[in-house]
Amino acid sequence: MRDRPGRFAVGVIGTGRVGSVLGAALARAGHRVVAASAVSDRSRRRAAELLPDVPLLPPPEVAEQAELLLLAVPDDVLPELVVGLADAGLFRPGQTVLHPSGRHGIGVLEAARIRGVLPLALHPVMSFTGTDVDLARLTGCSFGVTAPDAFRPMAEALVVEMGGEPEWISEGDRPLYHAALAFGANYLTTLVAQSAELLERAGVSAPGRMLGPLLGATLDNSLRSGDAALTGPVARGDAGTVAAHLSRLAKLASGPSATDPLVNAYLALARLTADRALEAGLLAPERAGELLEVLNEDGSR
């Protein structure tokens, strides 16, 4: 089935934003995508754009044809899919099976491994659009990789072929690794969108234009300097300013301030920021006391 040494016949189960792009990246590297599966109309369109001329087949048929099987399905669906394919006898010795889930390592592929499969977890640390734009963005992208020691060279080679940089994550550290990425990426979107909404309420006509330079500089400074980049009223210990923030946010609350998600989010982030500022020596202990009183008083209401 291989056109030349080291080239795989690839099957892709799940042509969502990630699966379609990784399938295209493997094809660009010289592998041959022989089959894919798609459920929604949107996935079918992605497959047509990124995996042209690749036949769309039911998952069992994709698994049967693949030497390298990419399981690009939602995290909560992956365990059931692996067990289902294993029970149907669709895995075979020597076959390589990988998934791009951040949450899971190779433990989720145990039902395949005991049938002689080579299990790999290759998670691209990137936000996907599901278009060919993502192919260029893969260059230099970190991949969180978990693999048995014997298969680490293969895992590394596949990542490098797709343009990425492998970062080895142990099986036990996968949940912590994924939580860290959620803090940095998923919740960043929430924070930016919430900030823009509050600016609109304050009468700012173009919050994105206002936030762009500020957030760009903050991200750059934070990546370079960590906690040393902290600024603002919490890091300075300006308790009065923080109290004013909380008072105004409480007026927007749909219920009591202590149970409002927006107030609670501000309090949680302010407390975490205060702790980090104290530890980094940015927040003077004598100023921290009054600040923490404000934060604890508001949270107890």
74-84: pLDDT as tens digits: 999 999 999 99
So what's the pLDDT on residue 254? 64
Q: Confidence band (pLDDT; 50, 70, 90) for 285?
A: very high
So what's the pLDDT on residue 6? 67
Our measurement of the distance from residue 78's CA atom to the centroid of its chain's CA atoms, rounded to an integer in Å, reads: 16
Q: Encoding tokens for residue 222?
A: 């934070």
CB 22 within 8 A of CB 162: yes
pLDDT in tens, 220-229: 999 999 999 9
So what's the pLDDT on residue 218? 96
So what's the pLDDT on residue 4? 44
**Residue 166 pairs with which residues in a beta bridge?**
143
pLDDT in tens, 166-198: 999 999 999 999 999 999 999 999 999 999 999
Domains plus CATH for the chain?
9-169 (3.40.50.720), 176-299 (1.10.1040)
Whether the pLDDT of residue 281 is over 50: the answer is yes
**Neighbouring C-beta atoms of residue 212, cutoff 10 Å:** 12
So what's the pLDDT on residue 253? 73
Sheet arrangement for strand 96-99: 32-37, 9-13, 68-71, 96-99, 118-124, 142-146, 165-168
pLDDT in tens, 232-277: 999 999 999 999 999 999 988 765 555 689 999 999 999 999 999 9
Q: What is the mean pLDDT of residues 110-129?
A: 97
Mean pLDDT over the full length of the chain: 93
Cα–Cα distance for residue pair 285/121, rounded to 1 Å? 45
pLDDT in tens, 12-36: 999 999 999 999 999 999 999 999 9
Residues 6+ away with beta carbon under 8 Å from 259: none
pLDDT in tens, 102-116: 999 999 999 999 999
Residue 37's closest CA among 17, 18, 62?
A: 62
Rg from Cα positions in the chain: 24
Whether the pLDDT of residue 144 is over 80: the answer is yes
Whether the pLDDT of residue 299 is over 60: the answer is no
So what's the pLDDT on residue 260? 86
